[in-house]
Structure 1
Amino acid sequence: MPPATRAQAKTATNVSIRRELLEAARASKINLSATLEQALIEKLQEAQQQQWRDDNLEAIAAYNQHVEKHGVFSDDSRSF
């Protein structure tokens, strides 16, 4: 998911966080919206990666089993 650009519409929302955390963020001049967006992008990427692994678990296991039994095509070619 690409980072937000100015042309992308934004939606106001309410979130609840600990008061001391909010105060510390404001004191440090941390942009809460940008920070939340970046954190959500990272979490969504992690979730998508996990979903891909879950969706491909059987294929990955089958490939690994094939490699254990037969090796890989370049086993005779590589020098390391």
Structure 2
Amino acid sequence: MKKIIKVLGPGCPKCKTTFTNVETAIKQLGIDAEVIKIEDIEEMMQYNILTTPVLMIDEVIKVKGRIAQIDEIKELLKS
């Protein structure tokens, strides 16, 4: 089943790094995933988050308020 991964953040350096790390992890694992970047504040507020970046996998918040590392993302995607 295709994973839906969302990176929420206003486009700050931490958010960009998290997004890049997600893309790298997907390539390394060779999995089928859709990566969605959400930068709109109104849309982010619907998820009730206060700190960014946020990494969501299949609508579940996995990492919040810090950069998600490549190895960490790979582990989260395997589970």
TM-score (norm 1): 0.24
Higher relative contact order (CA 8 A, sep 6+): 2
TM-score (norm 2): 0.25
Q: Which has the higher helix share?
A: 1
Q: Flag the structure with larger Rg.
A: 1
